Amino acid sequence: MVSASSSSSSSTQRKGKSVPEKPLKKRKRDDDDANLQSQAACDQKDQQIDQEEEEPAPYVILVQGPPNVGKSLLIKSLVKFYTKRSIKDIRGPITIIAGKKRRLQFVECPNDVCGMIDASKYADVVILLIDASYGFEMETFEFANLLQVHGSPKVMGVLTHLDEFKDKENERIQAVPQASILD
């Protein structure tokens, strides 16, 4: 006896005779499924086109400086200037809308060398904060050198704690003994 598994795929055997298979009729449900799939593909293409026409990437402003120099205060002040809202804590990058088609993203740079290198690669502008009462710190020099080596964009230096100069000058003047005029 011949088994059914040995027959060709285009025919079946019944009682030793080969009978050709009839093609299945296409169901209406299959047509509906095909239409839905083609419509979904068109919708997906429309979404891809819309994504390409989105807003440009934000302008990344990197704020770098030693601890307690005023990085967070500067970012909070700039956010308040542009949005008229104040923020309490800075956790990660802050993006604000500065115009119809312009977004600004403020990023506080970490003080480790690896973080500085990574941050310098994606920044559009770098603001170096320098404590005027202390002067340049080694981290600031290292970061400026990294920016130069990696071909960084625009760099701006900002002096902070200038009010302490006036206080120190007053202390120095008061510390000098007053000489008598008649001597």
* pLDDT tens figures, 111-126: 777 888 888 888 888 8
User: Does residue 177 have a pLDDT over 60?
Assistant: no
Q: Is 59 a member of any domain? A: no
Residue at 15 is within a domain: no
Of 3 and 139, the structure prediction assigns the larger pLDDT to: 139
Tell me if 97 is assigned to some domain. yes
Q: What is the mean pLDDT of residues 20-30?
A: 56
Do the domain assignments include residue 155? Answer: yes
pLDDT of residue 7: 45
Which residues constitute the domain of residue 118? 73-124+139-164
The total number of residues shown for the chain amounts to 183
* 112 found inside a domain: yes
In a domain? residue 22:
no
Nearby residues of 165 by Cβ (< 8 Å), 6 or more positions away: 132, 133
Higher pLDDT, 136 or 23: 136
| Residue 28 within any structural domain of the chain | no
Predicted pLDDT of residue 20: 61
Give the pLDDT confidence score for residue 15 in this predicted structure: 59
Report the DSSP beta bridge partners of residue 14: 17
Does residue 35 form part of some domain? no
Q: How many CB atoms lie within 10 A of CB 109?
A: 22
Question: Binning pLDDT at 50, 70 and 90, where does residue 169 land?
Answer: low
The tens digit of pLDDT for each residue in 44-84 reads 665 655 555 566 788 889 898 888 888 888 989 888 888 88
Amino acid letter, residue 35: N
Domain count for the chain: 1
Angle at CA of residue 83, ends 78 and 84, nearest 5°: 95
Bridge partners, residue 107, by sequence:
62
